[in-house]
């Protein structure tokens, strides 16, 4: 069945199954369907998408529309890969009864997202198995930063409340090992509390959100053109991916067509970002099992990619390249040739690095069978990106929801079922090879023409979902516009927010000294989570 046929079948099925429960259906953009219903219908809708259409709930967020509509709204975003379509379900929440029913018991992947809504909007969760604070820590005062009546410049009083209490784990011979929140390396804060019996880890509790930056609040009333720079700062190693996802959302609101050459240049930059991060992680995984020679080789290769990035865009992390409507800089023949020359030189050196690691029996012994995340657990937690693909989750937005120029190139998506550190590294190795192929195809046949579409003023009160398959996994930016080229809301979804709970599962039964390499095999972003 084609994507269009699947979409029509879903719409017909929803009309037949739910009828008047779905009060409104609108299509603002291609592959983006908006439904309006009541809160009591969401659980049934969610179950129906899962069971009948193999959809998944990828995002849950709120917005404060009391001034315009007299209520809050919660939006549930479902992705149905077979139809290449996102379904965004909107439900109103009355200010007189600011609460909503939790779906976490049925859909574990929305645990933190629902708790964020409670923390940032003050909408009470009903039926959640662990409704403790998440995005805001326990000693924060009773403020709700994403309500419209909260002033961004508010000076909060000193925090004097009770600190977070971790759950006690008791038993004979059981003790706890705290790690963080301040770490020895160049790393952002995160508190990991291990409960161990002897050497094996029985339980891991993770506490994040120590550097909550209020990024989504900063987007409110910000000129859209300024939003690109803010998006670049969400997670430094995914600067281009986040900026592109934001631009994608704005372009969909404007119904602007990005020129073919710009789409190709965006795709090359996304793959360069993937390459340098994957190579760095391969080296870092080797370091965490004391194979420092392999890491030295990896860092040398990463440095060459970063220098190419600077030659192409003026910035080693590709900042300043993305812009609304396309890209900021075009490349001449010499720059395109530099890309081809680097790939030709890098390919054999990368293959040599891989052979060096794979030839080390001690390295394989440390990685194989370590930090296993089973396919069942990965699916239950909604794990995305490379971590999901190492655990049997065959999903990739580049293929399933093509963006930029990914519909113009041939590539394969590596998927394994072992779910251990070795296979999370293997996914990286395979993806670097696929990235080389994608870039070569595009450089060989670069379209001619403009690199930026002309953009007028955005229509007010329009919504759109922008998305990118970043090197960690899927990134989403959902926006709603205001008059005057400004934003009323920008919801950011970094893949790390989805994947952190999987780390607690992957370490079980392992020993504490293996935690660094397990953690590095996921390599999740603190900044992308905190936002």
- Coil, strand or helix at 95: coil
At 222-253, the pLDDT tens digits run 889 999 999 999 999 999 999 999 999 999 99
pLDDT at 222: 82
pLDDT at 245: 98
For residue 325, pLDDT over 80 is answered with yes
CA 150: distance to chain centroid?
27
**Measured in Å, how far apart are the chain's first and last C-alpha atoms?**
39
Are the beta carbons of 321 and 240 closer than 8 angstroms?
A: yes
For residue 277, pLDDT over 90 is answered with yes
At 206-216, the pLDDT tens digits run 999 988 888 99
Q: What angle (nearest 5°) sits at the alpha carbon of residue 336, between those of residues 330 and 338?
A: 125
DSSP one-letter code for 179 = E
CA-nearest of 476, 472, 473 to 277 is: 472
What is d(CA 116, CA 131) in angstroms, rounded to the nearest whole number? 10
CA-nearest of 272, 433, 283 to 351 is: 433
Mean pLDDT for 270-277 is: 98
Mean pLDDT for 167-195 is: 85
Residue 1 structure tokens: 């069945």
What is d(CA 276, CA 266) in angstroms, rounded to the nearest whole number? 16
Residue bearing the bigger pLDDT, 169 or 478: 478
Determine which helix (DSSP H) or strand (DSSP E) holds 59, and give its type and residue range.
Answer: strand 56-65
Residue 158's pLDDT band, with cuts at 50, 70 and 90, is confident
pLDDT at 317: 96
SS3 content of the chain, % helix, strand, coil (to 5): 45, 20, 35
At 450-502, the pLDDT tens digits run 999 999 899 999 999 999 999 999 999 999 999 999 999 999 999 999 999 99
CA-nearest of 350, 237, 345, 343 to 283 is: 350
Residue 23's pLDDT band, with cuts at 50, 70 and 90, is confident
What is d(CA 123, CA 143) in angstroms, rounded to the nearest whole number? 12
The class (CATH top level) of 3-126 is alpha beta
Q: Is 248 exposed, middle or buried (0-12, 13-18, 19+ CB in 10 A)?
A: buried
Q: Compute φ and ψ for 133, nearest 5 degrees.
A: -60, 150
Mean pLDDT for 35-46 is: 89
What is d(CA 400, CA 409) in angstroms, rounded to the nearest whole number? 13
For residue 10, pLDDT over 90 is answered with no
Every domain of the chain with CATH number 3.30.460.80 lies at 3-126
DSSP one-letter code for 320 = T
What is d(CA 37, CA 26) in angstroms, rounded to the nearest whole number? 12
At 310-320, the pLDDT tens digits run 999 999 999 99
Strands (E) in 364-514, as ranges, are: 463-469, 474-482, 486-493
Q: What angle (nearest 5°) sits at the alpha carbon of residue 256, between those of residues 255 and 261?
A: 145
The arrangement of secondary structure in 215-530, i.e. its CATH architecture, is Orthogonal Bundle (1.10)
For residue 401, pLDDT over 90 is answered with yes
For residue 417, pLDDT over 70 is answered with yes
Residue 120's pLDDT band, with cuts at 50, 70 and 90, is very high
Mean pLDDT of the chain: 93
Residue 169's pLDDT band, with cuts at 50, 70 and 90, is confident
Sign of the torsion angle spanned by Cα atoms 60, 62, 63, 65: positive
Determine which helix (DSSP H) or strand (DSSP E) holds 62, and give its type and residue range.
Answer: strand 56-65
* CA distances in angstroms from 211 to 136, 208, 472, 491, 527, listed in the order given: 10, 8, 21, 18, 8
Every domain of the chain with CATH number 1.10.645.10 lies at 215-530
Residue bearing the bigger pLDDT, 25 or 445: 445
Task: Spell out the residues 6+ positions from residue 325 whose beta carbon is closer than 8 angstroms to its own.
Answer: 247, 251, 256, 258, 262, 452, 453, 454, 455
Mean pLDDT for 6-21 is: 85
Give the whole-number percent of the chain exceeding pLDDT 90. Answer: 77
pLDDT at 429: 98
Mean pLDDT for 128-135 is: 91
For residue 354, pLDDT over 70 is answered with yes
């Amino acid at each position: 069945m084609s994507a269009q046929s699947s979409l029509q079948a879903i719409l017909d099925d929803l009309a037949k199954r739910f009828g008047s429960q779905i009060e409104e259906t609108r299509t603002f953009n291609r592959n983006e369907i908006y439904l309006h219903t009541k809160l009591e219908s969401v659980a049934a809708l969610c179950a129906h998408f899962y069971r009948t259409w193999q959809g998944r709930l990828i995002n849950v967020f709120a917005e404060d529309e009391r001034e315009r509509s007299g209520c809050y709204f919660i939006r549930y975003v479902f992705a149905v890969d077979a139809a290449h379509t996102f379904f965004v379900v909107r439900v109103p929440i009355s200010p007189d009864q600011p609460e909503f029913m939790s779906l976490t018991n049925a859909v574990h992947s929305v645990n933190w997202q629902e708790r964020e809504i409670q923390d940032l909007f003050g909408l009470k969760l009903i039926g959640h198995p662990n409704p403790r604070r998440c995005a805001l820590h326990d000693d924060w005062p009773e403020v709700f930063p994403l309500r419209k009546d909260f002033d961004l410049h508010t000076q909060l009083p000193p925090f004097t409340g009770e600190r977070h209490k971790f759950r006690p784990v008791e038993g004979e011979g059981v003790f706890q090992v705290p790690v963080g929140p301040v770490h020895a390396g160049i790393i952002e804060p995160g508190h990991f509390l291990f409960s161990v019996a002897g050497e094996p880890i029985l339980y891991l509790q993770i506490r994040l959100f120590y550097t909550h930056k209020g990024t989504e609040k900063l987007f409110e009333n910000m000129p859209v053109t300024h939003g690109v720079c803010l998006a670049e700062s969400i997670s430094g190693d995914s600067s281009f991916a986040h900026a592109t996802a934001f631009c994608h959302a704005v372009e969909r609101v404007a119904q602007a067509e990005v020129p073919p050459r710009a789409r190709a240049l965006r795709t090359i930059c996304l793959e360069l970002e993937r390459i340098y991060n994957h190579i760095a992680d391969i080296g870092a995984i080797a370091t965490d099992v004391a194979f420092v020679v392999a890491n030295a080789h990896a860092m040398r290769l990463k440095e060459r990619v970063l220098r190419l990035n600077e030659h192409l865009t003026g910035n080693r992390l590709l900042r300043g390249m993305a812009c609304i409507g396309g890209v900021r800089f075009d490349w001449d023949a010499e720059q395109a040739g530099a890309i081809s020359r680097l790939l030709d030189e890098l390919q054999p050196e990368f293959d040599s690095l891989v052979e060096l690691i794979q030839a080390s029996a001690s390295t394989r012994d440390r990685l194989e069978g370590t930090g296993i995340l089973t396919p069942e657990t990965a699916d239950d937690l909604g794990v995305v990106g490379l971590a999901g693909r190492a655990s049997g989750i065959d999903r990739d937005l580049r293929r399933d929801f093509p963006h930029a120029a990914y519909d113009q190139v041939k590539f394969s998506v590596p998927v394994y079922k072992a779910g251990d550190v070795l296979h999370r590294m293997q996914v990286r190795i395979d993806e670097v090879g696929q990235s080389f192929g994608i870039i070569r195809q595009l450089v060989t046949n670069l379209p001619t023409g403009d690199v930026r579409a002309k953009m007028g003023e955005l229509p007010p009160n329009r919504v759109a979902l922008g998305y990118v398959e970043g090197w960690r996994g899927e990134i989403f930016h959902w926006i709603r516009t205001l008059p005057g080229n400004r934003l009323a809301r920008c919801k950011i979804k970094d893949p790390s927010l989805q994947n952190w709970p999987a780390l607690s599962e992957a370490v079980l039964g392992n020993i504490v000294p293996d935690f660094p390499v397990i953690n590095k095999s996921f390599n999740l972003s603190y900044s992308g989570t905190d936002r």
